[in-house]
Structures are given as C-alpha cells and as structure tokens.
C-alpha cells in the first residue's frame, strides 16, 4: 500500500505483490523486487470515511498509526488478510459518493469471514467479470 499526497487531498493506492512459484524464480535473492501492479486507488471523502479500517489494517500488519504520513514514500507491507480486506473495501467503495452506502459496505466487509473476503477479492480482481463482481458485492452489502 502506498500513501500518495496531492497538495489538497490524500490518496492511497493498493498494490499487489506477485508471488512466483519456486520453479519460475530466476534466483533466490533479487536485486530489485518484482513489479507490483496497482489494484485500486482511493482518495478524498471516500478515503476519509474508511480511515478507521486503513489504520486497523496497518495495526494488524505491525505498523503504528503515526507511520501513515504525507511524507512517507516507502510502501507498507500489509499482511495478506489485511491487504485482501482493504483491497476489497477500496474496490467496493471507489465509485460510490453516498457516505451512507460507503458506511454500509464498510460494516458489511468487517462482518465477513476470512473465507468470504478471499472469495470476493478473487472474484473482484481477476478475469473479465471482475467489474460485475464488484457491482454484485456493492449490491449485496449496500443495496445499490
């Protein structure tokens, strides 16, 4: 997760680290880390509405709330589950402007089991039907 700051608003971008199977690795120790494709980026009032979940994901990954600052350029390495939950949240709320719906989605995702979160994350990030899966998730959690 990378913290990006424009002069007036803050954005958070979630990147997914790709894990290579041992048979595909060139060497055990890399000089540079593999590319991390961006999953989603959120900012503005929508980000402020879910800032509690952002701070919770950082704490569950061993960071302090004060580690998140406008001056930080180094990405945060989130635990897998914290990253999946935060990515799913960002994917679900990005196109929404009604704060009541953002809050409903946020509460619904908090109530999900780990298995449900992983299932929805895989559906919402892969394949040609990812956009439809994101919409289905929004409908499920906030009656879009």
The pLDDT, as a whole number, for residue 50 is 87
Listed by start position, the domains of the chain span 2-142
Q: What is the pTM of this model?
A: 0.77
Q: How many angstroms separate the CA atoms of 53 and 84, rounded?
A: 12
Copy the structure tokens of residue 29. 């120790």
Q: Residues with Cβ < 8 Å from 32, sequence gap 6 or more?
A: none
For the chain, give the number of residues: 144
Which portions of the chain are predicted below pLDDT 70? Answer: 1-9, 18-34, 144
Give pLDDT tens digits for 102-114. 999 999 999 999 9
């Amino acid at each position: 997760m990378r913290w990006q700051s424009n002069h007036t608003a803050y954005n958070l971008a979630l990147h997914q680290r790709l894990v290579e199977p041992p048979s595909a690795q060139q060497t055990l120790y890399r000089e540079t880390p593999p590319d991390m494709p961006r999953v989603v980026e959120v900012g503005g009032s929508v980000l402020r509405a879910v800032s509690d979940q952002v701070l919770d994901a950082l704490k569950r990954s061993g960071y302090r709330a004060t580690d998140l600052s406008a001056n930080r350029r180094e990405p945060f390495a989130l635990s897998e589950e914290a990253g999946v939950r935060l990515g799913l949240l960002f994917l679900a709320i990005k196109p929404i402007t009604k704060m009541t719906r953002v809050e409903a989605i946020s509460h619904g995702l908090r109530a999900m089991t780990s298995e449900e979160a992983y299932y929805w994350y895989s559906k919402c990030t892969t394949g040609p039907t990812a956009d439809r899966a994101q919409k289905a998730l929004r409908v499920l959690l906030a009656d879009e």
